[in-house]
Amino acid sequence: MKAILTSAICSSLLLISGCNSQVNNNDVNSAISTQKTALASGIEKANIDNSVRAQDNFYRYVNGGWMKNNEVPGDKTAIGSFYDLRDKADDDVKAIIEELAATENLKMGSDEQKVADLFRSYMNSENRDALGSKPIQPIFDAINNIKNSSELSEFFGKYQAVGVGSPLAFYISIDAKDSSRYATHIWQSGLGLPDKDYYFNEAERFTALRDGYVAHIEKMFDLAGLKGGKEAAKTIMALETKLANYHWTRVQTRDSEKRYNKFAVSDLSTLTDAFDWSAYLSAQGVASQKDIIINQPDFIKGFGKLFAETPLKDWQTYLTFHTLSHFSPYLSTDIDNENFDFYSKQLSGRKEQRAQWKRGVSVVNRNLGEVIGKVYVGRHFTPQAKARMSELVENLRSAYGSSIDGLEWMSDDTKKSAHVKLAAFTPKIGYPDKWEDYSALTIKSDDLVGNLLRSSRLGHDKEVAKLGGPIHDWEWHMSPQTVNAYYSPTSNEIVFPAAILQPPFFNMQADDAVNYGGIGAVIGHEMGHGFDDQGSKYDADGNLRNWWTEKDLEEFANRTKALVDQYANYQVFEDLNVNGELTLGENIGDLSGVTIAYKAYKASLNGKEAPVIDGLTGDQRFFMGYAQIWRSKIVEKSMRNRVATDPHSPGEFRALGSLSNMNEFYDAFDVKEGDAMYIAPEKRVKIW
């Protein structure tokens, strides 16, 4: 995004300069023609690396020039297409916030006052430094006053609602087997390191991180004026290691069917009778609920044993640290910096803090996102863009339908059900039709932690209020200024916030090929999640229900297994490969997305030949547009964390993996046996 805009602005400035200097008309006309061609193509040719053969590594061919000429700055762990757009969204949101923050005498209780004062409360470093850890002292006091296991259970329930971590993550979401109702759920939680493997892997990197974590806990206690930091760190590390032993792996937690375990509340004692479920659920505000869905019942059993055998004082030590850790970015500078030093620097490789205003923008976005979103959409998202995007979505839906009809491996019965699900997809584009109401939230300019506590509590109460009521089909789970997109299996909806609908993903000034290769593939990706290895388990109404014939399901599994094997062979570092099982759903989404986007692009030509622009055919521009959107550079520590925890493959392999399976890509770039991207025709994976 930034590269395209910069190019366009520089061209305009050069043209203005040319008009004011001694330059002949032929030069001006040539410059104008070049600019129009660049905009019409949508391909950032300056980023190409001609030293790399397209047939060997198409991603580095398209993006290698950019990769050589750009370094990750110290305040980031990654740069690239997505991150450029996020930077621009932050700048746009900053402008909105600063206008409000500079306005005096805003009406108390107005949305404008809340945005301005939340931002001010974050930016007031002097006040935060003077207060130190005092804003969370009431929570420390509540922890110290816990007298028994029932009160401990109650604390878990009451304070999770304001962000204090515990081993049980309670949430409310649509019931996967009855999508007409909301249900209560519990997910495994309680770890301070990113994943269970971080507690047990004996590789040097992991042992160093464990040592760093222990040292970090001790220092956090010292900075907060809490006694016994050294012993506390040992206690917390030992307790979390025991918890981690019971955690499911990330691959296990992907299984929608194994995660669906509905219990009558009265039967929770069969998992553990050591924990006071009544006290916990009452504190969450859901005492009247008759059932609850437990995602990882094995974990609950293990947690129950640990809960019973761990001394109360150890749980108090654990909760004290997790309270401090959660609120550390909003306390004094020294506490904030120590939190940054471990979680961002040691764990992720970020060398320096982001600018304070950027962190302030994030705070406002997280807590008042749709207030900002209303203004953002008015300034940065046109009705024409929404209409064009809606057209693209329907073109992709039509192409997906044609692709289903053409599947040789799928029976007619399963195809019929797939068509029903496809027709039921609900697209949401740009922004919500109904905006979130923040009228009950009190925001004060000198009370940052209080603002966040009230915001969290209000959010929790709104979630609880959903129980027993109709599904909020108007609700979005991302703000318009978020650079991302998502599919919800229980709502069967695909959602595209306004901020992603910009170049290189979506360019209103560009030829269709690059748009289909960019945002078209993103649309197809989200549709593809409805038919990936987990999304395909949900029917058109969002219910977890098998709609496949047994034979088709077996053939589908064979094809997805081939994709697992393909990605597992991609080497990120010499000692680290992509986890093909963890990334399977996203890899299916990518392959489906670009395959369907290509079909939609070809259909949009209505039988005509695409023009050649910048010496590139339509097919070539389509595939280059696709490779552009995954352009990125990520620091090593962050990349290693992502490979361990992120269900998305690294950007390079998102491009290479999908395109290596497409016959049309082979034709467009003359890929032959012996080329590094070549896969024998019979081994190329085709799913949708």
User: Domains of the chain: which residue ranges?
Assistant: 138-330, 382-425+499-683
Q: What is the dihedral of CA 179, 182, 187, 191, to 10 degrees?
A: 130
Instruction: Give the burial class of 50: count Cβ atoms within 10 A of its Cβ; 0-12 exposed, 13-18 middle, 19 or more buried.
Output: exposed
pLDDT in the model for residue 4: 27
- Between the CA of residue 555 and those of 133, 256, 331, 538, what are the distances in Å? 58, 19, 55, 18
What DSSP state is assigned to residue 182?
Answer: E
Mean pLDDT, to the nearest integer, of 73-98?
Answer: 97
CA distance 438 to 506: 32
Taking phi first (over 0 means left), then psi (-120 to 50 degrees means alpha), and beta for anything else, what does residue 225 get?
Answer: left
101 band by pLDDT with thresholds 50, 70 and 90: confident
User: Are 218 and 229 a contacting pair, CB within 8 Å?
Assistant: yes
8 band by pLDDT with thresholds 50, 70 and 90: very low
Span 328-342, pLDDT tens digits: 999 999 999 999 999
pLDDT in the model for residue 26: 32
pLDDT in the model for residue 29: 30
Of 515, 653, 631, nearest to 82 by C-alpha is 631
CA distance 114 to 636: 39
H-run or E-run covering 530: none
294 band by pLDDT with thresholds 50, 70 and 90: very high
∠ Cα 621 627 631 (to 5°): 135
Strands 493-497 and 486-488, by their bridges, are antiparallel
H-run or E-run covering 490: none
Strands 178-188 and 262-264, by their bridges, are unpaired
Instruction: Give the burial class of 553: count Cβ atoms within 10 A of its Cβ; 0-12 exposed, 13-18 middle, 19 or more buried.
Output: middle
* Domain 138-330, CATH among 2.40.10.10, 1.10.340.30, 1.10.1380.10, 1.20.1250.20: 1.10.1380.10
Span 181-216, pLDDT tens digits: 999 999 999 999 999 999 999 999 999 999 999 999
CA distance 325 to 473: 35
CA distance 97 to 363: 11
CA distance 414 to 404: 10
Give the 3-state secondary structure of residue 187. Answer: strand
Residue positions counted in the chain: 688
CA distance 57 to 112: 50
User: Are 395 and 508 a contacting pair, CB within 8 Å?
Assistant: no
User: Are 198 and 247 a contacting pair, CB within 8 Å?
Assistant: no
Mean pLDDT, to the nearest integer, of 360-370?
Answer: 97
* For residue 25, pLDDT beyond 80: no
Mean pLDDT, to the nearest integer, of 25-36?
Answer: 31
Instruction: Give the burial class of 147: count Cβ atoms within 10 A of its Cβ; 0-12 exposed, 13-18 middle, 19 or more buried.
Output: exposed
Mean pLDDT, to the nearest integer, of 598-625?
Answer: 96
H-run or E-run covering 616: none
Mean pLDDT, to the nearest integer, of 243-248?
Answer: 98
pTM of the model: 0.91
526 band by pLDDT with thresholds 50, 70 and 90: very high
CA distance 224 to 536: 49
* For residue 1, pLDDT beyond 90: no
Span 648-660, pLDDT tens digits: 999 999 999 999 9
pLDDT in the model for residue 24: 32
Residues 212-250 as b or e (16 or more Cβ within 10 Å = b): bbbbbbbbbbebbebeebeebbebbbebbbbbbebbbeb
The dihedral of CA 511, 430, 370, 162: what is its sign? negative
**Phi and psi for 278 in degrees, rounded to 5?**
-60, -45
Residues 73-86 as b or e (16 or more Cβ within 10 Å = b): eeebbbbbbbbbbb
pLDDT in the model for residue 39: 41
620 band by pLDDT with thresholds 50, 70 and 90: very high
Span 454-510, pLDDT tens digits: 999 999 999 999 999 999 999 999 999 999 999 999 999 999 999 999 999 999 888
Span 137-168, pLDDT tens digits: 999 999 999 999 999 999 999 999 999 999 99
Point out the least confidently predicted range of 36-45, 388-397, 474-483, 672-681. 36-45
Structure tokens at 562: 């081939």
Of 632, 682, 676, 624, nearest to 652 by C-alpha is 632
Share of the chain above pLDDT 90, in %: 92
Q: What is the 3-state secondary structure (H, E, C) of 265-284?
A: HHHHHHCCCCCCHHHHHHHH
Mean pLDDT, to the nearest integer, of 100-110?
Answer: 91
* For residue 126, pLDDT beyond 80: yes
* For residue 13, pLDDT beyond 50: no
Span 528-558, pLDDT tens digits: 999 999 999 999 999 999 999 999 999 999 9
pLDDT in the model for residue 2: 30
Residues 4-29 as b or e (16 or more Cβ within 10 Å = b): beeeeeebeeeeeeeeeeeeeeeeee
First-to-final CA distance of the chain: 30
* For residue 123, pLDDT beyond 70: yes
DSSP count for the chain of H helices, then E strands: 28, 11
Residue whose pair of structure tokens reads 């081994």 in the numeric block: 683
pLDDT in the model for residue 18: 29
Mean pLDDT, to the nearest integer, of 15-21?
Answer: 28
User: Are 144 and 317 a contacting pair, CB within 8 Å?
Assistant: no
* For residue 131, pLDDT beyond 70: yes
- Between the CA of residue 487 and those of 387, 401, 434, 645, 683, what are the distances in Å? 20, 18, 19, 20, 29
Spatial CB neighbours of 524, under 8 Å, sequence gap ≥ 6: 396, 399, 400, 592, 593, 594, 595, 596, 597, 600
Cβ–Cβ contacts within 10 Å for residue 117, how many?
22
40 band by pLDDT with thresholds 50, 70 and 90: low
pLDDT in the model for residue 104: 85
Cβ–Cβ contacts within 10 Å for residue 126, how many?
9
Q: What is the dihedral of CA 517, 518, 524, 528, to 10 degrees?
A: 110
pLDDT in the model for residue 139: 98
Mean pLDDT, to the nearest integer, of 383-396?
Answer: 96
Span 409-431, pLDDT tens digits: 999 999 999 999 999 999 999 99
| CATH number belonging to domain 382-425+499-683 | 3.40.390.10
Spatial CB neighbours of 511, under 8 Å, sequence gap ≥ 6: 40, 41, 42, 611, 613, 618, 621
CA distance 422 to 622: 24
Give the 3-state secondary structure of residue 407. Answer: coil
